[in-house]
Amino acid sequence: MALRMYTHFCEPVRGGDSGQLVKIRPVAPNSLDTLISGRVGSLNSSGQIQLGLASSTAMPLFVFKGVDQPSVYSPGGDGTNTYWVGGNSFAAGTTALALVASGGWEIQTTEFDTSKTNYACNDLLTVDNNGKVTNDSVILYKTPVVGVCSVHENAQNNQEPFVTSSTAQPPRGVSANGIETLTFWSVYLPGTGS
């Protein structure tokens, strides 16, 4: 529903209170420039959030406060260090905020594989190498599943949800801010990786 006006975002369209299912963790050093809002991350072996899935059994984390948001990211500071401002008073250093995929949310994100034009309701979603959700090459019980496509909506300005510049299929649409999005329910079904 694009409540915040950013080019990259991930927002729960529906679902319960996210307070207990928000993960606040340090960002892996190799993801400080790439862990933008809307992308999918996971915990690495050090407990840091990295871009993409660390393994086929990693719990997906939908980043909703990323390095691209001014309220979170500040490139100033000591020498070449990058500083983050966490979402609460105890978060310090380089932290990110993410929704845990096992939460019961319907999510809208800008970070999906836009080269795919065949998204349909009930399509299974996985994560590509860039941390974007995609329905490309999903094989149930082999590929990690992070979501199921639902129906796009744009309640802020009552526009027809299915009409976009690139597709007329229900999960895709344009947000109130004019940004193309994909809407899906979060799920967690690990893959075997083989």
Better pLDDT: 3 or 108 = 108
Q: Where are the domains of the chain?
A: 10-100
Task: Compute the average pLDDT of residues 85-103.
Answer: 61
Q: What is the pLDDT of residues 73-87, one digit of tens each?
A: 444 444 555 544 444
* Token couple for 62: 């939908």
Q: Are 40 and 23 in contact (CB under 8 A)?
A: no
Q: Which two three-digit tokens encode residue 136?
A: 């490309």
| Whether the predicted pLDDT of 88 surpasses 50 | no
Each residue's pLDDT tens digit, 115-169: 988 899 999 999 999 999 999 999 999 999 999 999 887 755 555 554 544 545 5
Percent of the chain with pLDDT over 90: 38
Phi, psi of 30 (to 5 degrees): -75, 0
Mean pLDDT is lowest, of 8-17, 38-47, 125-134, for 8-17
pLDDT tier, 19 (very low <50, low <70, confident <90, very high otherwise): low
pLDDT tier, 72 (very low <50, low <70, confident <90, very high otherwise): very low
Given this model, what pLDDT does residue 76 score?
A: 47
State the pLDDT at residue 37.
86
Task: Classify each residue of 55-84 as buried b or exposed e, where b means 16 or more C-beta atoms within 10 Å of its C-beta.
Answer: eeebbbbbbbbbbbbeebbeeeeeeeebeb
Q: DSSP letters of 77-132? A: SSTT--EE--SSTT--SSEEEEEETTS-EEEEES-B-TT-----TT-EEEE-TTS-
Dihedral angle sign, alpha carbons of residues 144, 146, 150, 152: negative
pLDDT for position 73: 42
* Cβ neighbours of residue 99 closer than 8 Å, sequence gap 6 or more: 10, 12, 18, 21, 22, 23, 61, 62, 64, 105, 107, 186
